[in-house]
Amino acid sequence: MRTQRRVFEKLSESTKVELASERIELGLVDDLEKYESQLDKGRDELMQFATDAREAIAKGVRELNRLDSVNKVAKRILGDVKETADELGVKVPQIKNLEQAIKAFEQQRKTLTKVLK
């Protein structure tokens, strides 16, 4: 009887060990699936971020080019208005405002050009 009990105890222990190792293996497989899912989702998000960044940069470049044209025209008109105002001896407050706007744009343009390249 004692021998029989010992045999059953030994069998029970070996079965527990096998079940425990199978649980560990199943847990590792679950981890693999979880990491695969995270990597796939993260890769998709990164691709979307890259696409969004490319589109934003392209829009920025187009707007910078548009503002370059506006700046050229504004400078030409500013020169004409300043000359006419001086000839007539009148003060035009918008001249100072436009000069400040042109100066601010030209300062920011340097930085923006570096960022958008």
pTM for the model: 0.62
The pLDDT tens digits of the residues spanning 66-103 come to 999 999 999 999 999 999 999 999 999 999 999 999 99
The pLDDT tens digits of the residues spanning 48-66 come to 999 999 999 999 999 999 9
Taking alpha carbons only, the member of 115, 111, 81 closest to residue 98 is: 81
CA 16 from centroid of its chain's CA atoms: 51
The rounded distance, in Å, linking the Cα atoms of 68 and 64 is 6
